Amino acid sequence: MDFGILVNEGPFTHQAADTAYHFAKAALEKGHQVTRVFFYFDGVNTANKLMEPQVDDRNLMKLWSALGAEHGLDMVVCVAAGLRRGLKDEILAEGFHISGLGQLIETGIQADRLVVFGD
């Protein structure tokens, strides 16, 4: 199965951000493909390399970066949502890149399923 993943919630505001990561990791471990992970709305904050959570807290930015590097994931940050939240190329974590909603539409067309995490 080929999955597209849409992350709409930020890394510290909703369980959806953690669930999206664990879903992607589990799908890949089971041999499925992940066409693209698209970060939208507050989900774009996941890609901010300036994020410094407490030592005893999980760091979704680092987790996604590692998963993306290991599996060659296409991790896209919505340009409009990112700019509204002050995200620019200079502060994107490794493995993330900025693009437009066309990438989300393409994901919905190419993937067998588009799984949405968050409202």
- Catalytic residue, candidates 37, 44, 47, 78: 78
Question: pLDDT class for 11, splitting at 50, 70, 90?
Answer: very high
Residue 33's CB is within 10 A of a number of other CB atoms, namely: 14
User: How big is the CA angle at 38 (ends 24 and 67), to the nearest 5 degrees?
Assistant: 40
Q: How far is CA 79 from the centre of its chain?
A: 13
What does the pLDDT average to over 29-57?
Answer: 95
Model pTM score:
0.96
pLDDT on residue 76: 98
SS3 107: helix
How far apart are the two ends of the chain, measured CA to CA in Å? 24
Q: Which homologous superfamily does the CATH classification assign to the domain defined by 2-117?
A: DsrEFH-like (3.40.1260.10)
User: In this predicted model, what pLDDT tens digit does every residue of 81-94 receive, in sequence order?
Assistant: 999 999 999 999 99
Q: Is 78 a catalytic residue?
A: yes
Residues 97 and 113 sit within 8 Å (Cβ to Cβ): no
**Per-residue tokens: 20:** 């999206």
- For the chain, count helices (H), then strands (E): 4, 5
What does the pLDDT average to over 40-56?
Answer: 93
**Which strands sit side by side in the sheet containing 33-39, from one edge to the other?**
96-99, 75-78, 33-39, 2-7, 113-117
Question: pLDDT class for 52, splitting at 50, 70, 90?
Answer: confident
